[in-house]
């Protein structure tokens, strides 16, 4: 039976990555915002790719990394606004309180510049075609009230 399924699919199978979830989550994040879509998408993609460099982040599922990347990207773009909403909770199935540890780990990666010995991802997202999102300033601290769960 397994061979039949694989033959029917022509062996075109893959495991979902954070990028698969990011596409959907970016659209959900933009439902109420009037901001341009591309900077958020590029910044969230950059943050998700940074997670590949840290062995400690392997314990998180791809959807969790994607949700935490959206949280951090929205925070970096608008540090005074709460980055999470009931809409994002609905579409991602994650609450901000659940994301706290992962978001903080990604925040450290972003602020540390992802390590000077592995600059490829930073160089990629420093290009103009990616809106130079790797060069964005990141506030040193994420306010703890942003991790309080929002009402549905």
pLDDT one digit per residue (tens) for the chain, 152 residues: 999 998 998 888 888 899 999 999 999 988 766 667 789 999 999 999 999 989 999 999 999 999 999 999 999 999 999 999 999 999 999 999 999 999 999 999 999 865 566 788 889 999 999 999 999 999 999 999 999 987 65
Q: What pLDDT is stored for residue 30 in this prediction?
A: 84
Torsion angle in degrees (nearest 10) through CA of 47, 51, 56, 57: 80
93 part of a folded domain: yes
Q: What pLDDT is stored for residue 15 in this prediction?
A: 87
d(CA 35, CA 121): 25
21 part of a folded domain: yes
152 part of a folded domain: no
82 part of a folded domain: yes
Q: What pLDDT is stored for residue 145 in this prediction?
A: 95
Domain range for 99 is 14-147
Q: For residue 28, what are the CA distances in angstroms to 61, 64, 142? A: 19, 15, 22
Q: What pLDDT is stored for residue 14 in this prediction?
A: 87
69 part of a folded domain: yes
What is the CATH number for 31? 1.10.472.10
2 part of a folded domain: no
Closest CA to 44 of 78, 68, 62, 79: 68
9 part of a folded domain: no
Q: For residue 30, what are the CA distances in angstroms to 3, 13, 34, 59, 93? A: 41, 30, 7, 28, 17
Q: What pLDDT is stored for residue 91 in this prediction?
A: 94
Q: What pLDDT is stored for residue 116 in this prediction?
A: 60
Q: Please count the structural domains in the chain.
A: 1
Closest CA to 68 of 36, 42, 100, 29: 100
88 part of a folded domain: yes
d(CA 42, CA 57): 20
Q: What pLDDT is stored for residue 31 in this prediction?
A: 75
Q: What pLDDT is stored for residue 115 in this prediction?
A: 57
Q: What pLDDT is stored for residue 85 in this prediction?
A: 92
């Amino acid at each position: 039976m397994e061979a039949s399924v694989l033959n029917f699919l022509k062996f075109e199978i893959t495991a979902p990555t954070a990028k698969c979830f990011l596409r959907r989550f970016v659209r959900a994040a933009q439902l109420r915002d009037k901001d341009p879509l591309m900077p958020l998408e590029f910044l969230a993609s950059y943050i998700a790719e940074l997670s590949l460099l840290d062995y400690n982040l392997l314990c998180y599922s791809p959807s969790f990394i994607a949700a935490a990347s959206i949280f951090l990207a929205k925070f970096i773009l608008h540090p005074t606004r709460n980055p999470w909403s009931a809409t994002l909770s609905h579409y991602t199935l994650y609450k901000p309180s659940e994301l706290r540890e992962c978001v903080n780990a990604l925040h450290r990666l972003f602020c540390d510049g992802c390590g000077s010995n592995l600059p490829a991802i930073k160089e990629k997202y420093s290009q103009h075609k990616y809106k130079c999102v790797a060069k964005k300033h990141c506030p040193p601290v994420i306010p703890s009230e942003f991790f309080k769960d929002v009402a549905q």
